[in-house]
Amino acid sequence: MTIELSDRVKAVPPSGIRRFFEIAEERDDVISLGVGEPDFSTPWAARDAAIASLEQGKTSYTANRGMRELREAIADYAADRFDLGYDPAEEIIVTAGASEAVDLAFRAFVNPGDTVAIAQPSYISYEPGVIFAGGEVLSVRTREEDEFRLTVEALEEAGAGDAEMLVLCYPNNPTGAIMREEHLEPIAEFAREHDLTVLSDEIYAELTYEGEHTSIATLEGMRERTIVFNGFSKAHAMTGLRLGYALGPADAITAMNKIHQYAMLSAPTTAQHAALEALDSCENDVREMVDQYDRRRQFVLSRFREIGMDVFEARGAFYCFPEVPEGFTAEEFAEGVLREEGVAVVPGDVFGVGGEGHLRISYATGLGDLREALARIEAFVADHA
């Protein structure tokens, strides 16, 4: 007997990068520029707080929405840092990573057959999340000539005015694109005009180089139709602690909590203690990590230009998105550079429309490895010129 799988699960293809992991396992000198995860450890003060909470036996569930002090700290942080004002009692939910929050939103707001427009290339979890929730995905192609910002032209071209929901992620995974207030204004206007609910994944907000991050939820008439996602994985280097959160109108957060309270009960308690400390005392650690990412970003961008590969000026997250040289598809380049030079990168196609012909390069890796990886990529390009 085999257990019958649901149609929704069957509708989602297996991950396109699994094959690359298998190739990578064949060599022991692989440098990975493939993973979207900080190479730093969680700041010590946050780790200490987690350890102390365990020593004190704080190992019970917390409130479903997360510890009250943590929600208050998140409210203060979001207000100070990004001008986002949310009530910790009703408008914030703490989740097991931003991933859980995004999934809750799809499950709470998508009806069977609803259309969810996704600005692509994008983080790989949105599309499966929509399908698991019974919705239909509408891909909205962002373009390199627009520096991978979402534009009204792209929304119109895709027919996104008829969608129920719009998902965007800036600073962006995989492109490193950011959107400033003047770029977000027309998108906000489009969302208001077409009555779209906006899911704004801002997990890389702190990793904005050159200027400050603006949240679309701060624009006129947007707060009531937007859910903002953020978390501790990226800026605070806490991926394994699994802690994120969502900010939104009380009714929407209550609906998400309805699912969360049954599916999860509460986010990991130890991680909540770490997160509270991270917000309380780790601002300098975050600044230090962001400075290092920025140095690596500038190095990687300049090396790709030296190698002769076109790459647009990524200003956020820890990714850049160079074009593959002529004669290769992204997949061929990624497979070739892995087999011949032992450098793992991700072909852009994995991230949806607009990703073809590009590679996602993560610079969440030390400068020494980045130097060596870029030298190997240079050798690969020279060998195949």
Chain residues binding ligand PLP by CB under 6 A are 36, 97-99, 123, 169, 173, 201, 203, 231, 233, 239, 244
Cβ-proximal residues to 2 (8 Å cutoff; 6+ apart), any chain:
none
* Minimum separation from the CB atom of position 99 to ligand PLP (A): 3
Both tokens of 327, joined, read 């004669």
Point out the residue whose Cβ comes nearest to ligand PLP: 97
- CA nearest 217: which of 194, 231, 233, 201? 201
Look up residue 86 and give its amino acid. Answer: Y
C-alpha to C-alpha distance for 358 and 263, rounded to whole angstroms? 37
* Minimum separation from the CB atom of position 134 to ligand PLP (A): 21
CA-based end-to-end distance of the chain: 53
Q: What are the start-end ranges of the E strands in 155-313?
A: 165-169, 197-201, 226-231, 244-247
DSSP 208: B
- Smaller CB separation from ligand PLP, 142 or 233: 233
For the purposes of burial, counting CB atoms within 10 Å of the CB of 191, is it exposed (0-12), middle (13-18) or buried (19 or more)?
buried
- Smaller CB separation from ligand PLP, 97 or 357: 97
* Minimum separation from the CB atom of position 93 to ligand PLP (A): 13
Q: In what order do the strands lie in the sheet with 115-120?
A: 92-95, 244-247, 226-231, 197-201, 165-169, 115-120, 136-141
* Minimum separation from the CB atom of position 317 to ligand PLP (A): 7
C-alpha to C-alpha distance for 102 and 116, rounded to whole angstroms? 13
* Minimum separation from the CB atom of position 102 to ligand PLP (A): 7
* Minimum separation from the CB atom of position 237 to ligand PLP (A): 11
Distances 90 to 245, 251, 256, 293 between C-alpha atoms, Å: 13, 8, 11, 35
* Minimum separation from the CB atom of position 276 to ligand PLP (A): 16
- CA nearest 135: which of 73, 197, 79? 197
- Smaller CB separation from ligand PLP, 62 or 173: 173
* Minimum separation from the CB atom of position 336 to ligand PLP (A): 25
Helices (H), 56-141: 68-82, 97-109, 126-132
